[in-house]
Amino acid sequence: MTKMLLQLASLILLWGSVAAHMLMSYPPSLRYVHNPHTDPGNADSSLTSPLSPSGSDFPCHGSLHLLGTAEGAPVASWAAGASYNFTISGGAPHNGGSCQASFSFDGGKTFTVVHSYVGNCPSPAGGDSSFPFRVPADAPASDAAVFAWTWFNNLGNREMYMNCAVVKVSSSSSRGASEPLPFASRPKIFEANIGNGCTTQDSANLLFLSPGPDVDVNDQHAVPATGTCETATASSGGAGGDNSGESSGSSTGGNSGATPTALAVEPTNGVAGMSAGGGGDSGPTGGTDDENSTEYIPGNFFPQGYSLGSRAVETAAVALAVAVLVDFVLLA
């Protein structure tokens, strides 16, 4: 009886630990168990968890110290001006949310947005979802660029998720091609829910006030974050601000103003830009064969075929497990 009670208690704890978990499986993140350069003894079981509410592990779950080491070797080779995909895996997408893809060419000091996805990122259905982006033609060449995926979930606790992978970026013949915005003038990644005074709204998709020139708008009713949020970008010509200002036709003001007219953008790819089980153009399609199995790997992702649905479903499952445990205690 005692053994059964311990097993039930472990099940409840396991459920709680994976209920909010999503992860960038391609390109494989730093310290990801399926990253070919990861030392198995150094794998990070928290990659599927949100960043600390204090921001103490921002950016990249504190893994950038691996840059320049064997574990920080590139996992993909991309060319400036070319298009690729990144893949998000997991079973608890919290009704999706809004994401950004970005690059850092200074070791993680700054991250520059190359694509924003407003709504449906990741797929609300869970499982694997693949998102297209393009490396700007004027992006710097680097043997150790940091590619980052950041996610602000729709349902649940107000959180910020972030996974980072090291990639090689090479120049191409299209480097001199005209870009809608110079790389150096693209916006920084949006930061919220990490102790910086900026908070996203629950049960809503985040509207990025500075999405950059490449954006998929899958939710015309998305809402901006509240609080002191950085909104300055050259893409809209604004000077940045916080919640106290107005934003009329630019991102000059803060979140309490009207939605900037610069964000009245038609979806460029929309939901059609996502495909189940897709991987990066130059890498594996969603990872290794282990990801197609039905075995749960602790701290990484739920297997394909599991879809936890909404927070209500997750809560009901936990409540049922607790009720069963209580019954066993009473019968004992």
4 lies in a domain?
yes
Instruction: Please report the pLDDT score of residue 176 as a whole number.
Output: 57
What pLDDT is attached to residue 126?
A: 76
**Residue recorded with tokens 């602000």:** 152
In a domain, 111, yes or no: yes
Indicate whether 115 and 103 sit together in one domain.
yes
E strand segments, 109-187: 112-118, 129-134, 142-153, 161-170
Residues 326 and 181 grouped into a single domain: no
> Can you point out the beta strands (E) in 202-259?
215-217, 226-227
Tell me what the mean pLDDT of segment 84-92 comes to. Answer: 88
For the chain, the distance separating the N- and C-terminal CA atoms, rounded to the nearest angstrom, is 7
Q: How many structural domains does the chain have?
A: 2
pLDDT of residue 203: 92
Tokens read off for 39: 């030392």
Q: How far apart are CA 35 and CA 253, in angstroms?
A: 42
Determine the structural domain holding residue 320 and report its residue range.
1-19+310-332
User: Which pTM value belongs to this model?
Assistant: 0.68
Q: Does some domain include residue 262?
A: no
- Is the backbone peptide bond immediately before 59 cis, with ω within 30 degrees of 0? yes
Residues with Cβ within 8 Å of 184's Cβ and at least 6 positions away in sequence, in order, are: 112
Is the same domain home to 43 and 111?
yes
Residues 36 and 136 in one domain: yes
Assigned token pair, 49 = 């968890």
Identify whether 136 is part of a domain: yes
- Please, what sign has the CA dihedral across residues 200, 125, 216, 61? positive
The answer on 6 and 91 residing in a single domain is no
123 and 70 in a single domain? The answer is: yes
pLDDT tens readout for residues 124-167: 887 899 999 999 999 999 999 999 999 999 988 999 999 999 99
CATH of the domain at 99: 2.70.50.70
Q: Assess whether 133 and 167 both reside in one domain.
A: yes
295 and 326 within one domain: no
For residue 235, tell me if it sits in a domain: no
CA dist 104 and 130 (Å) reads 21
Kindly report the average pLDDT of the chain as a whole number. 72
In a domain, 259, yes or no: no
**13 and 50 belong to one structural domain:** no
Residue 266's pLDDT band (cuts 50, 70, 90): very low
Task: Please tell me whether residues 43 and 123 are part of one structural domain.
Answer: yes
Looking at the fold, whether 292 and 317 belong to one and the same domain comes out as no
Tell me, yes or no, whether 238 lies in a domain.
no
Closest of 318, 222, 286, 276 to residue 27, by C-alpha = 286
Residues pairing with 102 in the sheet: 113, 148
Q: What is the pLDDT of residue 94?
A: 65
Per-residue pLDDT band at 122 (split at 50, 70, 90): confident
Question: Do 15 and 113 share a structural domain?
Answer: no
Residue 215, domain member (yes or no): yes
